[in-house]
Amino acid sequence: MSAFVSEIIGTMLLILLGNGVVAGVVLRHSKAENSGWIVITMGWGLAVMIGVYAAGIYGGAHINPAVTIGLATAGEFPWADVPLYILAQFIGAIIGACLVFIHYKPHYDATDDPGLKLATFSTAPGIRSTPFNLIGEIIGTFVLVFALLSFGANTFADGLNPLIVGFLIVSIGLSLGGTTGYAINPARDLGPRIVHALLPIKGKGSSDWGYSWIPVVGPIIGGVIAALIYNILVP
């Protein structure tokens, strides 16, 4: 139960701070408006770092179903615990998305573009191409999970691992995130997308359900491939 609660809190902080930085950059009359992609990628990296620190108190600090499934595939995490971790991650993501909406409510009301409002909840591709969008999410998550497994084979000073993971997220965002918005986390995308569909957001438009499967399926495939290849290289 402690690990379950830790995953909820860690994922909630991830989404609150990650989607929060997107809201600050894209919503009207925010003091961070138009501050750009570098701010978003740095904000997400710090959000992951803080989420991992918080979730690491009692749990494995996965805060991402693709990581949980990838670690289980690699034999680094028990399959019996996978459903509980994923449930906690989705609960945390939904709570975090609701908090972002509450925090920025006047700015949602002041923003006319429904696409910008959706961007504060979930990802969308720069160029819509199903095969390439899927490949992009697979590659980004492959890098994430393979790097996390590789970090486990290295020794860091106590408490340094979450900081390294945060830099990893920044690297993925800067190098690979410009195509799809680098969900690389099914709970990060689907949980807030559900919140977007349910909340009474003024002028919100479509939740883009036709695209929604890509940030779920792509990361899971990428995480599993990373685990399988890692096991081949490091038996």
On the 0-12 / 13-18 / 19+ scale of CB atoms within 10 A, 178 is middle
Q: Where are the domains of the chain?
A: 2-233
Q: What is the pLDDT of residue 101?
A: 98
> How many Å apart are CA 8 and CA 176, to the nearest integer?
27
Cβ proximity of 61 and 55 under 8 Å: yes
Q: What is the pLDDT of residue 161?
A: 87
**40-64: b or e for each residue (b if 16 or more CB lie within 10 Å)?**
bbbbbbbbbbbbbbbbbebbbbbbb
If pLDDT is split at 50, 70 and 90, which confidence band does 224 have? very high
If pLDDT is split at 50, 70 and 90, which confidence band does 156 have? low
Q: What is the pLDDT of residue 235?
A: 72
Q: How far is CA 108 from CA 32, 80, 99, 113, 122, in A?
A: 14, 41, 13, 9, 15
How confident is the prediction for the chain on average, in pLDDT?
95
Query: Does the structural domain 2-233 have CATH classification 1.20.1080.10?
Result: yes
Percent of residues in the chain assigned helix, strand, coil, to nearest 5:
70, 0, 30
Q: What is the pLDDT of residue 158?
A: 65
Q: Kindly report, residue by residue over 9-40, the tens digit of the pLDDT.
A: 999 999 999 999 999 999 999 999 999 999 99
pLDDT at position 64 over 90: yes
Q: How far is CA 123 from CA 43, 82, 225, in A?
A: 15, 24, 22
